Amino acid sequence: MTPRPVPARPARDTRLDIIRGWLQLTIFASHVAGSFIGGWLIYGTWGLSDSSEQFVFLSGFTLGSVFARKAARDGWHGGAADILRRAWRLYRVHLMVFALYLGMVLAAGASILPGEPLRMGWGFLLRDPVGAVPGIATMLYQPAFMGILPIFVWCMLLLPGFAWLLDRWGGQAMLLSLAVYACVHLFGLHTPSLGPDTGIAFDLFAWQVLFMAGAWLGRRALLHGRALPFEAPWAKWVTAAAVAMLVLGVVLRLDWYGFLPWHGWMPDTTLVVGKERLALPRLLHAFALAWLVAAYVPREGGWMRTRAAAAVATIGRYSLEVFCLGLFLSWAGSTLLRLDPAWMPLLDPLIVAAGTLALARFARFLDGRRAVARVVQPA
C-alpha cells in the first residue's frame, strides 16, 4: 500500500488567532456577572449562539488538521497518541483550575461572601468529599464555570475514532455525529451529572457535533487546500441563508428584550436557545456565523498588522492560558460589582478594561517566554 504523502505544515492563520483572541475577551466580559458590557455589548447578546460554539468549532478545526498531519506522518496510532497526550494535559489543567477555584471560593465564603460556595455549586463536595471524587475524576461534577474545559477533553478523546471513520467514509462520517445529536433532542439522550446540585454545562452528545464538524473541515483544509468551496454556484444560497439566520437572531433578541411592538411572538425557550444541549437554532446560528467569517474575512489584511490586532492575536495564540486566568479575573470583577453595586456604572468599564489589559499582558508575557525558549537551546 502506497503511504499517504505528509501534507506540509500550514502557515499560521493570523485571522484565526485574532478571532480566538476576540472570543476570549468576550468570554471574559460575559463572565463578569452584572456587567453591562458583558451583558449587552457582546455579540452573543444579539444572536442565538455565543463564543462557546465558535471555540468548540475552531478547536475541532485545528485538532482535525493536526491529527490528519500526524496520522499521515506517523500512522493512525501516532496521531491518536498525540491527541491523547494533548487531552491528558488539558485534563490536568482542568483539575488544577478546579482546585484553585475551589480554594478561591472557600476563602471568599469564609470572609467577604458568606454562602458563596453553596451559591456556585460546591455544596456537594463540602458535604461529601469522598462521594464527590468520582464526579471530579470523570468531570461529571461541574460547579459553576467548571463545565467548560471538560467538553474539550471529551471531544478530544473521541477524535481518533472519528478520524478513523473519516478515513473510511469521508464526509459521510458526519452522519453518525448528526445522528447522535438528533438522539439528544428526539429521545432525550444526555450526559449524566454526578453532582446533585449541578448539571452539565455542555452536553457531550450534543456539542460533539460542532467539534466533529470542525475536525472534518480542518482535515479537508489540510488535505485539499480548502475547507469548503465558497466559489461554488450554490455557495451564494448558503450565504443568503446564513445572513437570514443572523438577522433572525437579532430580531428574536429584540423581541425577547421587549424592543419590538409584537413582543412575545416567539417564546424564549430551551428549544430555541438552550445551551446545555445545543438547541438546533443555536447550532444553525453558529454554523451561519462561521460560514460568513470564513467566506468574507480575508486571511490577510492591513488591519491585522495594527498593534491592537497583534495584541488580540497574541491572546488567541494562548487561548487556554488566557481562558484560565480570565475565569479568576472575571470572578474577582463580579465580586467587586456585588460588593459595591452603587459604584457599578463606574466600576464596570474599569473592571472590563483592566481585565482585558491584564489578559493581553499575560499573553504577551507567555509569547516572550516562548520566544526566549526557542533561542536558548540546551547544550
How far, in Å, are 10, 255, 256, 258 from residue 264 at the CA level? 48, 7, 7, 8
The mean pLDDT of the chain is 93
- pTM for the model stands at 0.94
* Pair 122, 209 in one domain: yes
Domain that holds residue 140: 53-224
Looking at the fold, whether 328 and 217 belong to one and the same domain comes out as no
79-to-67, 160, 182, 223, 307 alpha-carbon distances in Å: 5, 7, 29, 15, 36
Q: Domain ends where: 199, 224, 249?
A: 224
Is 376 among the domain residues? Answer: no
Report the pLDDT averaged over residues 206-232: 94
Of 361, 364, 365, 359, which Cα lies nearest the Cα of 326?
A: 359
pLDDT in tens, 295-304: 999 888 888 8
Task: For residues 162 and 134, state if they share a domain.
Answer: yes
Q: Are residues 214 and 295 in the same domain?
A: no
Locus of grid cell 466559489: 231
When pLDDT is averaged across residues 94-117 and rounded to a whole number, the result is 96
**Within this chain, do residues 259 and 164 fall inside the same structural domain, yes or no?**
no
In percent, the amount of the chain with pLDDT more than 70 equals 97
Asked if residue 131 and residue 22 are part of one domain, the reply reads no
- Residue corresponding to grid cell 489589559: 357
Same domain, 207 and 66: yes
Residue 231 within a domain = no
Whether 272 maps to a domain, the answer reads: yes
pLDDT number for residue 1: 41
How many Å apart are CA 288 and CA 291, to the nearest integer?
Answer: 5
Q: Which three cell numbers stand for residue 175?
A: 452522519
pLDDT in tens, 313-358: 999 999 999 999 999 999 999 999 999 888 899 999 999 999 999 9
229 found inside a domain: no
Give me 259's grid cell.
Answer: 424592543
Q: How far apart are the first and last CA of the chain?
A: 41
Answer yes or no: do 189 and 103 share one domain: yes
The domain boundary, picked from 224, 257, 287, lies at 224
State whether 179 and 280 are in the same domain. no
Same domain flag for 251 and 302: yes
Q: How many domains does the chain have?
A: 2
Residue 374 is assigned to a structural domain of this protein: no
Of 224, 247, 278, the residue that ends a domain is 224
Instruction: Quick: pLDDT tens for 139-162.
Output: 999 999 999 999 999 999 999 999
Residue 286 lies in a domain: yes
Residues 360 and 284 in one domain: yes
Over 60: is that where the pLDDT of 282 sits? yes
* Same domain assignment for residues 104 and 217: yes
